[in-house]
């Protein structure tokens, strides 16, 4: 029987499926392979790219034919053909030669469209309501009313009627806003994205979206209609209420370009210009932090369709574009990804209802009402309930997250769409009658990033933790990785992002998302080379802004993580300049190789129960040495051998300075905090001879804290990996399973459905932590997710490799777990592992996609007796890190399903 050839599937360009806008220098191709049997791999590939799409048809043949290329690479292969034409559509396909020598059929074609020329591709002008801004009535709500009243004005409505005289072959709408936009063509919403165009530093780059609107146009009369909102550009963001409306600009504006190609090849352009009309409608204000207010009686009925009389509307205010680059959105769109029905609805009998959705989430509520016109419905949102059972909102600080609707018909659907609320509970006032469960729906809104991870184990609470980690990501990955979705902050802190980045990759396919954010990081970098603490950067009170240890270092750690997880070398090339400038900045300011100067607004080991006890210079110097080691690896893979040697030399100088300043001959690290040991071990700063004793001291420090962790954002992601890789897997489990505060399990058992900002966000003894900083949806402590996948499930890569081509499958069973199984959908396809232990047996099962090789290391009390499912003995024996009587049976396998069974590890007897 012959083996069928491998088939290329899941074609992506720039990590997106058929993107309608890609920068020409980011056109790079990836695919996965499907096929049956064992040990299947790709020997060679061929890619063909052909101009397509709009007439006149191009008959000049492919723009690029790679010819057969002998390589197993299937990710991030850069386009290398003729110059790509801006705005043009191309199709591409791939075929592969596999291990049997067979050639696959050509894949189904995929497509991409090249972005417009960043400055010369646009013929539109910025338009808005001009000077005649209507002032909203200050909402009757507590808080800084002056600032709110100054900023919150009605959402501009803009429309333009036009005629289409001939049949349409092909039409694209290119659109963006300073602020947020929602576009409609002939009354139908364009696209399914929300909060477009997303957040960037609008003074440096503005993203736009491209839509295929061929099917929305009609021959004859047409109307394009757009609603604008203040968004990040002109609304509240961050915690400096006084500056709302002043971060970038005061009022939102639109830039739109509709390009219609007729069947006869002629083109028609409809662009934003002075021919548009403007007015206002039902949306009296719309703000990301504050919420929305709609007065439905004020909606100009039919304005979004042809035939509406707009003679009473004002001409739009219009200004010419400046040179700010307009860039096709490289990230995934923000969408409604799930709808959740209430778990309970309680009425207080006085026209107020409290709704529990059972899950802390980011999004908004959709309400169906059937009652008299003129009803006034107000919805407040909160993450938790106060002790008396009422909605707790103190931790929102000045963010109101309140929506209000005044109805005008008898049966209406009320829903905001230019705001975001972090909530599990909603308090509804003024609902006419009693809402049923079908009348209230929570829409979950975030960057729509495909799931990559699945985790299940014999411990229910741990499964909930894994879900909470993912919900933390979903609640905060909104155009950028924000810190929290509810209070007056919602900023792109670099420290949080770097400690969580690898966990994020294991949970979801964040390649395109982080590619976009790394451009923001680059835009925010100072001329000195210091990376800012925030990206996009904002000038906020109390924040000095750049260079903070563990924050600025994200500028190296996150690109390196993208390379590691996705094999993305393009991202390294794009950011080499910025990373080099950062390294130069550190060396220039700290000539003695201890990082003691220019620590900016040092946050040290932020929110660790022991954060004040770790010297800030220790954490800073550790991160510097780590950056230097990663830079050496980056220089290697980008082919710069001299730089690699230079960074290795730098890394050893910083390491020596670290050891001289902080490490004793007995392995004692400075203050003896857990963080000090975790960083020294994880970042490989210690001489070999003291590693074991430093690891023992880490364990002693944990014991000294009565088997609790004391690490904060600077070290938390590395705590369990440092323990497991120094032979203390059982201590890692002990921290994982710790039930009392501070611990992960404590949060879960206290009812958390997301990750909390603080270990003690709420305790039975003290109640809530200070409302000034107590978010219940911050992802940083969720960085333990990396350990769940890499160590517990054992889905890892051989050291020094990237992109999951050479796997290291080394499970770390332990604690009270009897079994665990999971999948990571890598760039090469899904990798699944699962283990189960009984009193005397241990079984490990792996399922691997084509085109990978794996070392499987099965822990066992008698490793020589472990067998694979064909009865083969191990290829060799190894040793399980640090464990005295546990050896590893080592097997080498390729694609397919493999199962290994052998005598169990000796029971640790759980000393606790």
> What is the contact surface with ligand BGC in residues (CB under 6 A)?
483-484, 489, 493, 495-496, 603, 606, 778
What distance lies between CA 665 and its chain's CA centroid? 42
Q: Let me know: does 860 contact 904? Beta carbons within 8 Å.
A: yes
Q: Shortest gap between Cβ of 530 and ligand BGC (angstroms)?
A: 16
Q: Shortest gap between Cβ of 603 and ligand BGC (angstroms)?
A: 4
603 φ, ψ (degrees, to nearest 5): -95, -5
Q: Shortest gap between Cβ of 496 and ligand BGC (angstroms)?
A: 5
- 757 is known as an active-site residue: yes
Task: Indicate the Cα dihedral angle 345, 350, 352, 354, nearest 10°.
Answer: -40
Q: Shortest gap between Cβ of 607 and ligand BGC (angstroms)?
A: 8
- According to DSSP, the residues that pair with 763 across neighbouring strands are 767
Long-range contacts of the stretch 574-581 (C-beta < 8 A, 24+): 574/518, 574/522, 575/518, 575/522, 576/634, 576/638, 578/521, 578/522, 578/525, 578/531, 579/555, 579/631, 579/634, 581/525, 581/529
Cα dihedral across residues 646, 651, 653, 654: positive or negative: positive
User: Given the DSSP bridges, would you call strands 334-340 and 326-328 parallel, antiparallel or unpaired?
Assistant: unpaired
Cβ of 752: how many Cβ atoms within 10 Å?
Answer: 23
Q: Shortest gap between Cβ of 484 and ligand BGC (angstroms)?
A: 6
Cα dihedral across residues 631, 633, 635, 640: positive or negative: positive
- 40 versus 778: smaller Cβ distance to ligand BGC: 778
> Quick one: tokens of 851?
């085109």
Tell me which residue has tokens 């109640």: 767
- 479 versus 826: smaller Cβ distance to ligand BGC: 479
- 548 versus 905: smaller Cβ distance to ligand BGC: 548
Q: Shortest gap between Cβ of 491 and ligand BGC (angstroms)?
A: 7
The DSSP symbol for 792 reads I
- 110 versus 494: smaller Cβ distance to ligand BGC: 494
- 311 versus 770: smaller Cβ distance to ligand BGC: 770
Nearest CA to 625 out of 559, 688, 681, 697 is that of 681
- 378 versus 397: smaller Cβ distance to ligand BGC: 397
672 φ, ψ (degrees, to nearest 5): 75, 20
- 113 is known as an active-site residue: no
Cα–Cα distance for residue pair 187/196, rounded to 1 Å? 18
Q: Shortest gap between Cβ of 422 and ligand BGC (angstroms)?
A: 12
Q: Shortest gap between Cβ of 420 and ligand BGC (angstroms)?
A: 16
- 77 versus 554: smaller Cβ distance to ligand BGC: 554
Q: Is 213 helix (H, G, I), strand (E, B) or coil?
A: coil
Q: Which of 113, 404, 489, 598 is catalytic?
A: 489
Q: Shortest gap between Cβ of 757 and ligand BGC (angstroms)?
A: 6
Cα–Cα distance for residue pair 493/856, rounded to 1 Å? 37
Task: Judge if the upstream peptide bond of residue 56 is cis by omega within 30 degrees of 0.
Answer: yes
- According to DSSP, the residues that pair with 193 across neighbouring strands are none
- 380 versus 490: smaller Cβ distance to ligand BGC: 490
Cα–Cα distance for residue pair 429/367, rounded to 1 Å? 12
- 489 versus 598: smaller Cβ distance to ligand BGC: 489
- What separation in angstroms does the CA of 181 have from each of 227, 229, 300, 669? 6, 6, 18, 54
As a three-state string, the secondary structure of 264-322 is CCCEEEEECCCCCEEEECCEEEEECCCEEEEEHHHCCCCCCCCCCCCCCCEECEEECCC
Cα–Cα distance for residue pair 314/301, rounded to 1 Å? 17
Cβ of 707: how many Cβ atoms within 10 Å?
Answer: 16
Q: Shortest gap between Cβ of 150 and ligand BGC (angstroms)?
A: 25
- 76 versus 496: smaller Cβ distance to ligand BGC: 496
Task: Indicate the Cα dihedral angle 10, 482, 233, 279, nearest 10°.
Answer: 70
The DSSP symbol for 874 reads P
Q: Let me know: does 49 contact 114? Beta carbons within 8 Å.
A: no
Q: Which of 383, 404, 757, 786 is catalytic?
A: 757
- 494 versus 625: smaller Cβ distance to ligand BGC: 494
Q: Is 9 helix (H, G, I), strand (E, B) or coil?
A: strand
104 φ, ψ (degrees, to nearest 5): -75, 165
Q: Is 651 helix (H, G, I), strand (E, B) or coil?
A: helix
- What separation in angstroms does the CA of 184 have from each of 91, 314, 695, 876, 878? 28, 19, 61, 64, 63
- 513 versus 603: smaller Cβ distance to ligand BGC: 603
Q: What is the CA radius of gyration of the chain?
A: 28
Q: Shortest gap between Cβ of 497 and ligand BGC (angstroms)?
A: 9
Q: Shortest gap between Cβ of 202 and ligand BGC (angstroms)?
A: 23
- What separation in angstroms does the CA of 859 have from each of 691, 703, 837, 879? 23, 26, 11, 8
- 460 versus 544: smaller Cβ distance to ligand BGC: 544
Cα–Cα distance for residue pair 506/796, rounded to 1 Å? 10
Q: Shortest gap between Cβ of 778 and ligand BGC (angstroms)?
A: 6
Residues forming the active site: 489, 757
């Amino acid at each position: 029987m012959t083996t069928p050839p491998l088939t290329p599937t899941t074609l992506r360009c720039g990590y997106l499926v058929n993107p309608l806008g890609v920068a020409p220098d980011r056109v790079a191709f990836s695919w996965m392979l499907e096929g049956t049997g064992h040990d299947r791999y790709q020997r060679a590939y061929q890619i063909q790219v052909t101009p397509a799409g709009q007439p006149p048809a191009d008959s000049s043949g492919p723009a690029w034919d790679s010819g057969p290329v002998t390589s197993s690479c299937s990710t991030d292969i850069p386009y290398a053909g003729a110059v790509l034409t801006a705005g043009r559509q191309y199709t591409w396909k791939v075929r592969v030669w596999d291990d049997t020598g067979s050639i696959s059929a050509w894949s189904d074609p995929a497509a991409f469209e090249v972005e417009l020329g960043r400055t010369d591709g646009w013929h539109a002008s910025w338009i808005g309501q001009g000077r005649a801004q209507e002032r909203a009535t200050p909402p009757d709500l507590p808080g800084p009313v002056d600032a709110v009243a100054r900023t919150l004005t009605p959402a501009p409505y803009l429309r333009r009627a036009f005629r289409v005289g001939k049949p349409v072959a092909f039409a694209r709408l290119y659109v963006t806003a300073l602020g947020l936009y929602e576009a409609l063509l002939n009354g139908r919403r364009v696209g399914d994205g929300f909060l477009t165009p997303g957040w960037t530093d609008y003074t440096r780059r503005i993203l736009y979206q491209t839509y295929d609107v061929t099917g929305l146009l009609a021959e004859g009369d047409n109307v394009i209609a757009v609603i604008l909102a203040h968004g990040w550009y002109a609304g509240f963001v961050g915690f400096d209420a006084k500056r709302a409306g002043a971060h970038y600009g005061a009022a939102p504006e639109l830039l739109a370009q509709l390009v219609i190609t007729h069947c006869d090849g002629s083109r028609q352009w409809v662009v934003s210009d002075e021919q548009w009309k403007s007015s206002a409608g039902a949306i009296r204000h719309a703000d990301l932090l504050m919420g929305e207010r709609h007065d439905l009686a004020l909606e100009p009925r039919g304005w979004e369709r042809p035939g509406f009389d707009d003679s009473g509307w004002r001409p739009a205010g219009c200004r010419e574009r400046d040179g700010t680059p307009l860039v096709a959105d490289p990230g995934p769109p923000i969408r409604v990804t799930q709808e959740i029905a209430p778990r309970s609805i309680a009425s207080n009998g006085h026209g107020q209802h409290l709704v529990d959705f059972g899950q802390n989430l980011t999004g908004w509520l959709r309400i169906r009402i059937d009652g008299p016109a003129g009803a006034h419905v107000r919805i407040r949102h909160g993450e938790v309930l106060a002790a008396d059972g009422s909605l707790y909102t103190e931790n929102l600080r000045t963010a109101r997250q309140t929506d209000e609707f005044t109805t005008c018909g008898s049966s209406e659907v009320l829903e905001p769409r230019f705001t975001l609320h972090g909530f599990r509970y909603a308090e509804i006032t003024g609902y006419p009658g009693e809402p049923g469960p079908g009348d209230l729906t929570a829409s979950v809104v975030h960057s729509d990033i495909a799931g990559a991870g699945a985790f299940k184990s014999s411990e229910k609470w741990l499964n909930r933790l894994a879900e909470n980690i993912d919900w933390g990501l979903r609640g905060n990955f909104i155009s950028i990785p924000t810190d929290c979705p509810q209070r007056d902050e919602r900023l792109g802190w670099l420290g949080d992002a770097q400690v969580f980045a690898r966990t994020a990759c294991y949970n979801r396919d964040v390649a395109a998302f982080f590619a976009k954010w790394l451009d923001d990081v680059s835009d925010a970098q100072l001329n000195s080379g210091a990376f800012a603490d925030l990206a996009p950067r904002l000038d906020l009170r109390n924040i000095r802004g750049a260079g903070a240890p563990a924050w600025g270092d994200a500028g190296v750690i996150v690109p390196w993580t993208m390379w590691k997880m996705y094999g993305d070398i393009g991202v390294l090339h794009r950011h080499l300049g910025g990373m080099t400038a950062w390294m130069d900045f550190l060396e220039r300011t700290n000539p003695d190789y201890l990082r003691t100067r220019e620590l900016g607004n040092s946050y040290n080991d932020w929110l660790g129960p022991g954060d004040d006890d770790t010297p800030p210079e220790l954490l800073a110097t550790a991160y510097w040495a780590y950056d230097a080691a990663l830079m050496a690896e980056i220089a290697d893979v980008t082919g710069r051998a001299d730089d690699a040697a230079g960074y290795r030399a730098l890394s050893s100088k910083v390491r020596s300075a670290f050891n001289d300043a902080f490490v004793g001959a007995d392995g004692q690290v400075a203050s003896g905090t857990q963080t000090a040991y975790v960083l020294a071990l994880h970042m490989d700063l210690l001489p070999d001879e003291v590693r074991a004793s430093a690891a023992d001291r880490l364990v002693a420090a944990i014991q000294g804290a009565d088997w609790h962790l004391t690490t904060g954002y600077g070290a938390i992601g590395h705590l369990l990996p440092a323990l497991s890789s120094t032979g203390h897997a059982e201590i890692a489990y002990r921290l994982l399973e710790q039930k009392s505060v501070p611990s992960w399990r404590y949060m879960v058992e206290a009812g958390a459905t997301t990750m909390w900002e603080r270990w003690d966000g709420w305790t039975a003894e003290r109640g809530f932590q200070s409302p000034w900083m107590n978010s219940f949806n911050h992802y940083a402590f969720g960085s333990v997710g990396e350990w769940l996948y890499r160590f517990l499930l054992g889905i890892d890569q051989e050291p020094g490799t990237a992109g999951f081509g050479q796997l290291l499958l080394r499970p770390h069973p332990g604690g009270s777990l009897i079994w665990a199984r999971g999948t990571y959908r890598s760039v090469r396809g899904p990798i699944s592992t699962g283990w189960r232990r009984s009193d005397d047996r241990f079984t490990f099962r792996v399922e691997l996609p084509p085109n990978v090789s794996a070392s499987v290391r099965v822990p066992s009390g008698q490793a020589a007796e472990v067998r694979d499912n064909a009865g083969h003995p191990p290829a060799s024996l190894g040793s399980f890190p640090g464990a005295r009587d546990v050896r590893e049976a080592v097997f080498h396998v390729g694609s397919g399903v493999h199962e290994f069974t052998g005598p169990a590890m000796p029971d640790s007897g759980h000393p606790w």
